[in-house]
Structure 1
Amino acid sequence: MRITLVGSRHFGVTTLNMLRERGVEVVRVVVADAEDRLVAAAQAAGIEVTVQANPKLVVAAEIAPQTDLIVTAHSHARVARQALAAARLGGIGYHPSLLPRHRGIAAVEWTIREGDPIAGGTIYHLADRMDAGAIAAQDWCFVKPGETARELWERALAPLGQRLLAEVIDYAKAHGSLPAKPQDEQFATKAPSLVPH
């Protein structure tokens, strides 16, 4: 299976490492920032790196030829419809909430702010609307009393994301397709940035 990985930061690096450990061929890494730590990790592994022309959008030309699947890992860019069409199985991403709850850039922060006793993570199909594609895999975890968003991410949600991504990619390798269950829109909530821009 040939994967184009779109990502950044620590979660992007751990996803790259997890994919390589599973024997998946990461053919290109796409980043919004040429200085991101994922660039160094990809280059050290001999993987081609492409820097997005627009940090908010991944276009078809930035996807490696003969890509089977696009995987996003800590990317805040929308993957254009034409880019998804360039990959045989489209694309998947990890969102650190039980989608459709807390759609948006600050899902973990909103989980804490809303006092949710349970959090979770979702592997979802990339689609035109952010965080709104069909669900490929989902699991939950408890939120500790007094836990910060960063603590919750590091303790539970980042490892959960790695495990779910691995499960979905193993499924795709075995079946040549991805599981898909529509999101239930009646439970959708927004998680916009809490930091003024």
Structure 2
Amino acid sequence: MRVMVIGQKWLGTEVLAMLLSQGHEVAAVAAPVGDRLATAAVAAGIPTGDPGASLAAAWVPEGVDLLVAAHAHCFITRRARQRARLGALGYHPSLLPRHRGRDAVRWVIHMREPVTGGTAYWMTDRADAGPIAAQDWCHVRPDDDAASLWRRELGPMGVRLLGQVVAEAADGRVTRVEQEEAVATWEPAFSRRPLSAA
């Protein structure tokens, strides 16, 4: 498979390493300047750039089969997705359609949910709402916080699920299960109010 990786931080770096170890051709990487993913891509000799807030079609090389988004904080435009034969695959650290939104892991902890999971899904114009490609679940321990749950379960799960779906797509198997909108939830960015001086 000829892929392009869009992302950053630990997840983006691990997904890049996984794709290369599976023998896929990584045609390009989009990552913030100075990020560890950008550094890893440059070290591997992969063309790398920072698209900013939006990945336009011009960023996607010719002949790409799949865009793989791993902790991508830029919007991947419809035309960019259409330049890849199979579209764009992303990972969300929740059991979609539950906990759509940027702070899914924090909301799981805040709501004291005993079980959560991760979802590899096909990206659309609506955030976290595209068809499901693969899912898995995990227990939330009573002493978990968002960071521990991400490090122990949800981060590694994302690498595994994305790898699974890319491998299946390379074999000609593409799963797309529509999300059930009746049970979808959207949580806003999780933030704490600043302490009052009074």
TM-score range (shorter-chain normalised) is over 0.9
| Structure 2 counterpart of 1:93, from 74, 90, 93 | 90
**1:5 corresponds to:** 5
CA RMSD of aligned residues (A): 1.3
**1:48 corresponds to:** 47
Distance 2:40 2:186 in 1: 33
Deviations 1:133-190 (A, max 9, x none): 0000001000000200000000000111111111101100001x52100000111111
Tell me, which stretches of 5 or more residues in structure 2 are unaligned? 194-198
**1:120 corresponds to:** 117
Distance 1:188 1:76 in 2: 22
> How many Å apart are 1:196 and its aligned residue?
6.7
Deviations 1:75-134 (A, max 9, x none): 122210000110000010000000010101101001101111101000000100000000
**1:64 corresponds to:** 61
**1:21 corresponds to:** 21
Distance 1:137 1:72 in 2: 15
**2:149 corresponds to:** 152
The code of the aligned residue for 1:180 comes to: R
TM-score, L = length of structure 1? 0.95
Number of equivalences: 193
**Bigger radius of gyration, 1 or 2?**
2
Q: Return structure 1 stretches of 4+ with deviation > 6 angstroms.
A: none
Distance 1:194 1:39 in 2: 28
Tell me, which stretches of 5 or more residues in structure 1 are unaligned? none
